[in-house]
Chains A and B, each alone.
Chain A
Amino acid sequence: MYHILAALTHHSSSISVYRMARDLAKSLGANLHLVHVLEPSEDEETELDWIHNLASSVRMDEHRVHSNVITSSSAAAGILHEATRIHADMLVIGRDMEGSSSRVEAVVAAAHCTVLVVPADTPKSAAKPEAITMGASA
């Protein structure tokens, strides 16, 4: 079974990350894992509500959607740990405008699976959110 891990934040790219990971999971018949890495200072209960609400809006078999909130002082380390734990085949991560490049670079550099980096919503991606619906070839 193919496993796709979507790393979500509250930043502007998360909607694109979520849509792309959902579409990929649907077309590949994959398990979709949503993860949100908390800083130690953040409120876990609030964040769990947020990610569960997001997960519940995924229109696919519920048993194929898994969500997890983990706490780590390093977002990159937390995401990589989760990718390893679930044996992710693909990791989908957003690149936000507000200086997340170093986090994304750290993930891409250390990941042992393919990593799809989604830019923050641009006019193009905002206009065509379903543009990269990918599926297995015939």
Chain B
Amino acid sequence: MKTIFVPLDFSDVTAPQLELMQTHLPDGPCRVILAHVHHAEAPLDNATSIEVDREYATVERGQLAEAVQRTRSNLATREEVVVESMFCSGPVSATLLSIIDVEKVDLVVMGTHGHGRLFSLVMGSVAEALLRKSQVPVLFVPPIKDA
């Protein structure tokens, strides 16, 4: 069974990312892992920042659940496809690389956000880390072009 790993950040690239994954899904039994890695934006050194971080995490969990539900619905005719979700906390790049290794991923479907210098500024360390260190193929999906 092939395992397709789709890290989500719930940005404007998430929709094309999921669409491409569904369109190019391998034939036969397949495992799809939709994942989000929560990373604290600020040091969690006081009650307020901890509470804000908790609220962010709750929102992200809801977005992940929605993405999983939508994907399962879209793939309802593919009974041999299993859609799983994974919500993790920690350093994003290292966590994603660890999931790729532990879950024996065959293909990563990764969104990109920008072009040129924005690549390193916006997409930055996460995509670069996957590009440089992933031991499995990574499919980079650009955002939908403006009309």
Query: Using a CB–CB distance below 8 Å, which chain A residues touch chain B?
Result: 20, 27-28, 95, 101, 104-105, 108-119, 122, 124-125, 131-138
* Bitwise interface map of B from 19 to 45 toward A, beta carbon under 8 Å scored 1, else 0: 010111111000000000000000000
Bound form: Cα–Cα A134–B134 in Å: 19
Contact segment of B48-56, B90-98, B137-145: B137-145
What is the interface of chain A mostly: helix, strand, loop, or mixed?
Answer: mixed
Neighbouring A residues of B23 by C-beta, 8 Å = 136-137
CB distance from B146 to the nearest CB of A (A): 12
Neighbouring A residues of B138 by C-beta, 8 Å = 116-117
Bound form: Cα–Cα A98–B135 in Å: 15
- Count residues of chain B with CB under 8 A from any CB of chain A: 35
Bound form: Cα–Cα A133–B26 in Å: 6
Interface contact B136-A115, CB-CB below 8 Å = no
Interface contact B131-A117, CB-CB below 8 Å = yes
Partner of B115, one of A20, A104, A110, A132: A110
